[in-house]
Amino acid sequence: MGFKFTFLAGFAAGYVVGAAAGRERYEQIKGVSSKVAGNPAVQKATGTVGAKATELSKTAKDKAADKLPRFAAAAVSKAGGNPDKIPGVGGHVNGSSDYGVPAPDTYNPPPGTAS
Protein backbone atom coordinates (compact mmCIF):
# COMPACT_ATOMS: atom_id res chain seq x y z
CA MET A 1 0.00 0.00 0.00
CA GLY A 2 2.88 2.36 0.82
CA PHE A 3 4.40 1.75 -2.61
CA LYS A 4 1.17 2.76 -4.38
CA PHE A 5 0.89 5.95 -2.34
CA THR A 6 4.52 6.88 -3.00
CA PHE A 7 4.13 6.14 -6.69
CA LEU A 8 0.95 8.22 -6.96
CA ALA A 9 2.49 11.12 -5.03
CA GLY A 10 5.54 11.07 -7.31
CA PHE A 11 3.37 10.84 -10.39
CA ALA A 12 1.23 13.79 -9.28
CA ALA A 13 4.29 15.93 -8.52
CA GLY A 14 5.85 15.07 -11.88
CA TYR A 15 2.63 15.84 -13.67
CA VAL A 16 2.32 19.28 -12.05
CA VAL A 17 5.96 20.19 -12.76
CA GLY A 18 5.76 18.84 -16.31
CA ALA A 19 2.53 20.66 -17.05
CA ALA A 20 4.00 23.97 -15.93
CA ALA A 21 7.15 23.43 -18.01
CA GLY A 22 5.05 22.30 -20.97
CA ARG A 23 2.88 25.40 -20.81
CA GLU A 24 5.94 27.68 -20.78
CA ARG A 25 7.41 25.93 -23.80
CA TYR A 26 4.04 26.10 -25.58
CA GLU A 27 3.90 29.86 -25.00
CA GLN A 28 7.46 30.23 -26.36
CA ILE A 29 6.63 28.28 -29.51
CA LYS A 30 3.40 30.22 -29.97
CA GLY A 31 5.25 33.57 -29.67
CA VAL A 32 7.95 32.59 -32.16
CA SER A 33 5.41 31.25 -34.66
CA SER A 34 3.39 34.49 -34.43
CA LYS A 35 6.53 36.53 -35.16
CA VAL A 36 7.43 34.34 -38.12
CA ALA A 37 3.89 34.46 -39.52
CA GLY A 38 3.85 38.25 -39.20
CA ASN A 39 7.13 38.66 -41.09
CA PRO A 40 6.47 40.37 -44.48
CA ALA A 41 8.92 38.07 -46.28
CA VAL A 42 7.10 34.99 -44.97
CA GLN A 43 3.72 36.47 -45.97
CA LYS A 44 5.02 37.20 -49.49
CA ALA A 45 6.40 33.68 -49.82
CA THR A 46 3.13 32.21 -48.59
CA GLY A 47 1.19 34.20 -51.19
CA THR A 48 3.56 33.12 -53.95
CA VAL A 49 3.33 29.47 -52.97
CA GLY A 50 -0.47 29.68 -52.76
CA ALA A 51 -0.71 31.26 -56.21
CA LYS A 52 1.59 28.62 -57.70
CA ALA A 53 -0.42 25.81 -56.07
CA THR A 54 -3.63 27.23 -57.53
CA GLU A 55 -2.03 27.47 -60.96
CA LEU A 56 -0.73 23.90 -60.79
CA SER A 57 -4.09 22.54 -59.64
CA LYS A 58 -5.84 24.24 -62.59
CA THR A 59 -3.26 22.79 -64.98
CA ALA A 60 -3.70 19.32 -63.50
CA LYS A 61 -7.49 19.63 -63.74
CA ASP A 62 -7.27 20.63 -67.40
CA LYS A 63 -4.90 17.78 -68.23
CA ALA A 64 -7.13 15.28 -66.43
CA ALA A 65 -10.20 16.55 -68.28
CA ASP A 66 -8.33 16.14 -71.60
CA LYS A 67 -7.15 12.61 -70.83
CA LEU A 68 -10.30 11.22 -69.20
CA PRO A 69 -12.22 10.46 -72.43
CA ARG A 70 -9.20 8.60 -73.86
CA PHE A 71 -8.78 6.70 -70.59
CA ALA A 72 -12.47 5.71 -70.59
CA ALA A 73 -12.30 4.62 -74.24
CA ALA A 74 -9.23 2.51 -73.50
CA ALA A 75 -10.99 0.89 -70.53
CA VAL A 76 -14.04 0.03 -72.61
CA SER A 77 -11.77 -1.31 -75.35
CA LYS A 78 -9.95 -3.56 -72.86
CA ALA A 79 -13.33 -4.79 -71.63
CA GLY A 80 -14.00 -6.08 -75.13
CA GLY A 81 -16.10 -3.08 -76.12
CA ASN A 82 -18.67 -3.88 -73.44
CA PRO A 83 -18.97 -1.19 -70.74
CA ASP A 84 -21.13 -3.57 -68.67
CA LYS A 85 -17.93 -5.44 -67.77
CA ILE A 86 -16.57 -2.36 -65.95
CA PRO A 87 -18.06 -2.06 -62.43
CA GLY A 88 -19.69 1.31 -61.89
CA VAL A 89 -19.44 2.27 -65.57
CA GLY A 90 -21.73 -0.23 -67.26
CA GLY A 91 -25.14 0.68 -68.56
CA HIS A 92 -28.01 0.35 -66.14
CA VAL A 93 -30.44 -2.03 -67.76
CA ASN A 94 -34.06 -2.00 -66.58
CA GLY A 95 -33.29 0.49 -63.84
CA SER A 96 -30.87 -1.72 -61.95
CA SER A 97 -27.28 -1.02 -60.99
CA ASP A 98 -24.32 -3.36 -61.36
CA TYR A 99 -25.17 -4.83 -57.96
CA GLY A 100 -28.78 -5.79 -58.65
CA VAL A 101 -30.35 -2.93 -56.68
CA PRO A 102 -32.41 -0.12 -58.17
CA ALA A 103 -30.42 2.73 -59.66
CA PRO A 104 -30.62 5.93 -57.58
CA ASP A 105 -32.91 7.70 -60.06
CA THR A 106 -35.44 4.83 -60.01
CA TYR A 107 -35.45 4.06 -56.26
CA ASN A 108 -38.87 3.66 -54.69
CA PRO A 109 -38.95 3.42 -50.88
CA PRO A 110 -40.85 0.53 -49.31
CA PRO A 111 -44.53 1.20 -48.58
CA GLY A 112 -45.14 2.87 -45.23
CA THR A 113 -41.79 4.66 -45.03
CA ALA A 114 -41.10 8.35 -45.46
CA SER A 115 -39.56 9.32 -48.77
In a domain, residue 75? The reply is yes
Say how many domains are in the chain: 1
37 close to 31: Cβ distance less than 8 angstroms: no
In a domain, residue 13? The reply is yes
Q: For residue 89, what pLDDT is reported? A: 57
Smallest CA-to-CA distance from 105 within 113, 94, 87 is with 94
**8 versus 47: which is more confidently predicted?**
47
pTM: 0.41
Residue pLDDT, tens place only, 19-42 = 877 888 788 888 888 898 899 998
In a domain, residue 6? The reply is yes
In a domain, residue 76? The reply is yes
In a domain, residue 85? The reply is yes
Domain span including residue 61: 2-98
In a domain, residue 103? The reply is no
- Residue 102 has phi, psi (to 5 degrees) of -60, 140
Q: Is the pLDDT of residue 113 over 70?
A: no
Residue pLDDT, tens place only, 53-97 = 999 999 999 888 888 888 878 877 777 776 666 666 555 444 444
